[in-house]
């Protein structure tokens, strides 16, 4: 059987052995057997223990050697020393999948990592699908399979959850039990030695019982696989993830936790964006989104209609909707208003928010909702109820539930209050309507769903072909490497840019002041002079840049000034002379385009406004290579200073196409040369006509 088929065996096994099963309540080996029985597992369950005869009424098999060949699943709970021998014995019995609950592997250090490596080798050789080690196990409600030592078993549902943290599994499971939320699958991934997040996404994509996928990750174990699988599944079902290790402290905790090396957060954000994964910032949001996505259809437009029995809360909700990026208050059509007039009291507000007024009985809600769901301007509905003296809490819940069954538009309910609203809230929950005490989380869910809807509509983007002379660039880079350099000096780096058809200003290298003047005359005034030294990469720091030199004398003086100062400030530096460079026209805007190679996800492109405020504003956006035309457009529009580039007070906009082309070319360069660790064009000077790369740094990996 193939590895993929064996992953299926983890969830839907016919024969399961528990290696290290125990007859002592409280032991993990006991709980697993108990949980399997409790889930009413329909297949054959075999406890394995050399010393017992029966466990929980089941006959015990004494050793792995006595197990039937081709077992679907083995759950291993033996002490860490016995795990590798058990795996060898199981491999000999041709086991298809295993869950290793036992801890004490990569997460504890080098020795553990070596043991884990042995497990990986056994699995790879035999195509065994292994979950763990160091995990809680997994469960699959539609297969009556609870191969875990978790406390409790959720009801059947359409949400799947996989998590790198076992503790978080316990917490979410408890939430599921408390809120009676159904789950299809629950997987505690542990160290992800074999089965990883990409395998999980691939499997869950084709799982007919799973509509929504939730994941908690601290790191991914294979960036490229993750991107490939996530991009596929997100086109079919929503994937909502929490990625921890966002803060530096969080990242440190994560790296000691599961032995994971937490990747840079910007790279993860970019990976999620590239693939369509929805990122939940916190647990509360994860739960809200899980409910919303699993119970409601996607809104097919931005228009929200608020139906309320109170003015104030209605306005609050309207404000929150208008403040959101994508949603707006639906403009109800005139026929809707006409129909309202037939049954709403004269003092009701007929426009969105539709205020049914404090004395609204359930029937008024029902009629109003029946009309609202038919309005083509309305794409989602937010029903608000405050527990006024005359509010019919339960009957109104029933009315909402009834109407929700007749429409393909998503309905969200905000029962404000707590005490009196409780029975209504329970009914709404049972009927799978997302319900909350405050409108804001519901509105946030509607917006996320609409964003996802829009994303699914966007066609695959275009990846334009970049004309380039790789060989020419290769020569320059090889030359730098052969000298053992980790940076390509600016003058040479310009060669690389020219090989990639990137716009560079006319530049000559001058070794003397006379050569500088000759260069300036050839280029034409005004010019810029820059220190040329392989050791000095931040030229301005040593007073190494002078702009706007308008005649021979200025050039001469600048040459002496720059070289003398550089010698004084950096006596160890070899100074080749000065670069004489064509000056970009006045009024150009400065931008930065760069990339950094992320260990997990590869080249991470960066775009931001340049100039002296970069450090403070930190107004930068990221995308992962390969960049497509939409990425290039998107990264530019994402920064807050985008408006400045568009031009203020009658200024013309900069040439955006020229910036996009530089971004796309940078992405190609990054993919063409894995040995370039980082590159930065700072600044690129851009105006309405064109963009030029005025400064370039190319950093090579140490080898
Ligand atoms: P560094 O970043 O090493 O200090 P740069 O080459 O980026 O040196 O030059 C410093 C600044 O000088 C730039 O940020 C830009 O404002 C200005 N500058 C550099 N080259 C040019 C040019 N060709 N035309 C106009 N301004 C330039
Ligand atoms: Mg610079």
Token pair recorded at residue 58: 């089941």
Would the CB of 548 count as within 6 Å of ligand 1? no
Token pair recorded at residue 375: 């309005």
Q: What is the pLDDT of residue 461?
A: 87
524: left (phi over 0), alpha (psi -120 to 50) or beta: left
**Distance of alpha carbon 620 from its chain centroid, rounded?**
17
Distance in angstroms (rounded) separating the CA atoms of residues 183 and 181: 7
Start-to-end CA span in the chain (Å): 40
- Which of 538, 566, 683 most suits a substitution to test ligand 1, by most atoms within 8 Å of the C-beta? 683
Would the CB of 21 count as within 6 Å of ligand 1? no
Dist. CA 614 → ligand 1 center (Å): 14
Would the CB of 547 count as within 6 Å of ligand 1? yes
Q: What is the pLDDT of residue 257?
A: 45
Distance in angstroms (rounded) separating the CA atoms of residues 430 and 422: 12
User: Which bound ligand lies closest to the C-alpha atom of 540?
Assistant: 1
Dist. CA 697 → ligand 2 center (Å): 8
User: Which bound ligand lies closest to the C-alpha atom of 610?
Assistant: 1
Residue closest via CA to ligand 1's atom 17 equals: 547
Please name which of 492, 175, 447 lies closest in space to residue 326, comparing C-alpha atoms: 447
Collect residues with CB below 5 Å from ion ligand 2.
682, 695
User: Which bound ligand lies closest to the C-alpha atom of 546?
Assistant: 1
Distance in angstroms (rounded) separating the CA atoms of residues 74 and 46: 9
Would the CB of 546 count as within 6 Å of ligand 1? no
Would the CB of 530 count as within 6 Å of ligand 1? yes
Q: Residue 435 forms beta bridges with which residues? A: 413
Query: Mean pLDDT for each consecutive 10-residue tract of the chain (703 residues)?
Result: 96 98 96 98 98 95 97 98 98 98 95 97 98 97 97 94 90 87 96 97 98 94 96 97 71 47 74 96 92 97 97 94 97 96 93 95 97 98 95 97 98 94 93 93 98 93 94 96 91 96 96 97 97 92 95 97 96 96 94 92 92 74 95 95 91 96 98 95 95 95 80
Residue closest via CA to ligand 1's atom 23 equals: 583
Closest-lying ligand 1 atom to the alpha carbon of residue 536:
3
Q: Which residues contact 182 (CB under 8 A, 6 or more apart)?
A: 141, 154, 155, 156, 157, 158, 159, 176
Residue closest via CA to ligand 1's atom 6 equals: 695
Residue closest via CA to ligand 1's atom 8 equals: 539
Q: Buried b / exposed e across 352-383, counting CB within 10 Å, b at 16+? A: bbbbbbeebebebbbbbbebbbebeebbbbbb
Dist. CA 529 → ligand 1 center (Å): 9
This model's pTM is above 0.75: yes
Q: Which residues contact 212 (CB under 8 A, 6 or more apart)?
A: 158, 159, 160, 237, 238, 240, 290, 293, 294
Closest-lying ligand 1 atom to the alpha carbon of residue 537:
3
Which DSSP symbol is given to 465? Answer: P
Would the CB of 145 count as within 6 Å of ligand 1? no
Please name which of 457, 401, 467 lies closest in space to residue 434, comparing C-alpha atoms: 401
Would the CB of 680 count as within 6 Å of ligand 1? no
- Which of 489, 695, 699 most suits a substitution to test ligand 1, by most atoms within 8 Å of the C-beta? 695
């Amino acid at each position: 059987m193939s590895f993929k088929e064996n992953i299926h065996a983890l969830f839907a096994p016919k024969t399961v052995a528990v290696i290290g099963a125990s007859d002592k309540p409280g032991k993990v080996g006991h709980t697993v057997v108990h949980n399997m029985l409790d889930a009413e597992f329909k297949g054959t369950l075999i406890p394995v223990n050399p010393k017992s005869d029966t466990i929980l009424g089941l006959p015990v098999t004494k050793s792995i050697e006595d197990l039937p060949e081709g077992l679907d699943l083995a759950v291993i709970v033996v002490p860490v020393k016995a795990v590798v021998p058990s795996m060898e014995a199981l491999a000999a019995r041709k086991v298809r999948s295993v869950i290793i609950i036992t801890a004490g592997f990569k997460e504890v250090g080098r020795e553990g990592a070596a043991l884990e490596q042995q497990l990986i080798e056994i699995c790879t050789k035999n195509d065994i699908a292994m979950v763990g080690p160091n995990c809680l196990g997994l469960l699959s409600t539609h297969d009556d399979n609870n191969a875990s030592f978790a406390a409790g078993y959720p009801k059947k549902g359409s949400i799947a959850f996989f998590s790198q943290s076992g503790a978080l599994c316990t917490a979410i499971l408890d939430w599921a039990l408390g809120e009676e939320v159904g789950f299809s699958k629950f997987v505690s991934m542990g160290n992800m030695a074999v089965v990883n997040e990409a395998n999980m996404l691939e499997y869950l994509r084709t799982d007919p019982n799973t509509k929504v996928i939730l994941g908690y990750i601290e790191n991914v174990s294979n960036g490229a696989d993750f991107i490939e699988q996530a991009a596929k599944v997100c086109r079919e079902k929503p994937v909502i993830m929490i990625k921890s290790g966002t803060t530096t402290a969080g990242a440190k905790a994560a790296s000691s936790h599961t032995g994971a090396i937490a990747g840079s957060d910007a790279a993860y954000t970019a990976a999620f964006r590239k693939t369509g994964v929805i990122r939940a910032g916190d647990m509360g949001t994860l739960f809200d989104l899980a409910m919303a996505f699993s119970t409601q259809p996607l809104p097919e437009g931005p228009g929200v209609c608020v139906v309320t029995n109170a003015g104030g809360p209605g306005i609050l909700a309207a404000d929150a909707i208008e403040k959101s990026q994508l949603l707006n208050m639906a403009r109800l059509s005139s026929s809707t208003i006409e129909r309202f007039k037939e049954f709403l009291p004269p003092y009701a507000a007929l426009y969105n928010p539709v205020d049914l007024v404090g004395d609204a009985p359930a029937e008024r809600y029902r009629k109003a909702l029946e009309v609202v769901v038919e309005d083509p301007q309305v794409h989602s509905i937010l029903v608000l109820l405050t527990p006024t003296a005359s509010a019919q809490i339960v009957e109104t819940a029933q009315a909402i539930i009834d109407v929700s069954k007749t429409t393909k538009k998503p309905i969200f309910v905000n029962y404000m209050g707590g005490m009196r609203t409780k029975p209504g809230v329970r009914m709404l929950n049972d009927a799978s309507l997302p319900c909350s005490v405050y409108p804001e989380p519901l509105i946030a869910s509607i917006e996320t769903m609409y964003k996802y809807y829009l994303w699914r509509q966007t066609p695959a983007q275009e990846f334009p072909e970049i004309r380039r002379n790789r060989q020419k660039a290769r020569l320059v880079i090889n030359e730098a490497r052969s000298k053992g350099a980790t940076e390509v000096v600016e003058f040479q780096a310009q060669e690389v840019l020219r090989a990639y058809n990137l716009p560079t200003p006319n530049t000559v290298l001058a070794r003397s002041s006379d050569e500088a003047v000759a260069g300036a005359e050839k280029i034409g005034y005004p010019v810029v002079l820059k220190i040329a030294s392989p050791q000095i990469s931040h030229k301005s720091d040593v007073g190494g840049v002078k702009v706007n030199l308008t005649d021979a004398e200025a050039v001469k003086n600048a040459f002496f000034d720059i070289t003398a100062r550089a010698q004084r400030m950096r006596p160890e530096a070899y100074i080749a002379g000065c670069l004489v460079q064509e000056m970009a026209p006045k009024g150009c805007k400065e931008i930065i385009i760069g990339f950094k190679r992320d260990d997990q996800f590869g080249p991470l492109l960066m775009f931001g406004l340049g100039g002296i405020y970069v450090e403070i504003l930190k107004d930068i956006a990221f995308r992962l290579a390969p960049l497509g035309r939409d990425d290039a457009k998107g990264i530019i529009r994402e920064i807050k200073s985008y408006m400045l580039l568009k031009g203020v007070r009658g200024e013309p906009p900069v040439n955006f196409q020229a910036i996009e082309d530089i971004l796309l070319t940078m992405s190609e360069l990054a993919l063409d040369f894995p040995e370039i660790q980082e590159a930065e064009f700072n600044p690129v000077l851009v105006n309405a006509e064109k963009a030029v790369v005025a400064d370039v740094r190319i950093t090579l990996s140490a080898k």
